[in-house]
Amino acid sequence: MPKTNKNRERKSKKGPDRLEYLSQLKSEFEESRSEGNKLQVLGNLANFAYDPQNYGYLELLEIPKLFIGSCYDGPPIRREFAIGGIANCCGYFSDARFISMMVKFRESPLVQIRNLAEAFVSEFCTADQIQASLSVSPIVEIPVLDSTSGESVQPNTTG
């Protein structure tokens, strides 16, 4: 029996529907001041990103932008969770600018980020996609990260 949009709603008798739940998670991430809470919520969102049925909800709520933004904000573990969320959304991300970002993340001094980016590129990108990504700017600029602290290193612009 073919699935209908009604069947895909996955509404619980006891709780919110999926869109509402994902919206609540996003709000919790944005409003939380606790790094532990942010990591837990980011991990939950990354797990939802694994299911292609959630892509429409993720796009509507701009969760991919949250993952991308988290690549640059907070401690290295948050960046690792964010790259994991991005990698889980692999079917959603086929834009050359996104692939360009992941190709650049393969050069990260942080082993976890480098490994996740390498896994994404090697598993989900064709040689043609990788080649095309080399001629475009990444979807967001990749910061230079210190290999020991994982903190962004600002280039010296004072000459």
Domains of the chain: 17-133 (1.25.10.10)
Helix (H) / strand (E) containing 68: helix 63-70
Which among 148, 140, 146, 85 is positioned nearest to 117, based on CA atoms?
85
Q: What is the pLDDT of residue 45?
A: 96
Q: What is the pLDDT of residue 91?
A: 63
Per-residue pLDDT of 53-96, as tens digits, reads 888 899 899 898 898 888 777 788 888 888 888 878 766 666 77
Do 121 and 158 touch, CB atoms closer than 8 A? no
Torsion of CA 94, 100, 103, 109, to 10 degrees: -130
pLDDT grade, residue 33 (50/70/90)? Answer: very high
| pLDDT(159) > 50 | no
| pLDDT(7) > 80 | no
Q: What is the pLDDT of residue 107?
A: 85
Angle at 130 between CA 127 and CA 134, to 5 degrees: 140
Tokens of 21: 């739940």
Burial of 116 (0-12, 13-18, 19+ CB in 10 A): buried
Q: Give CA 44 to chain center in angstroms.
A: 12
| pLDDT(8) > 50 | no
Q: What is the pTM of this model?
A: 0.63
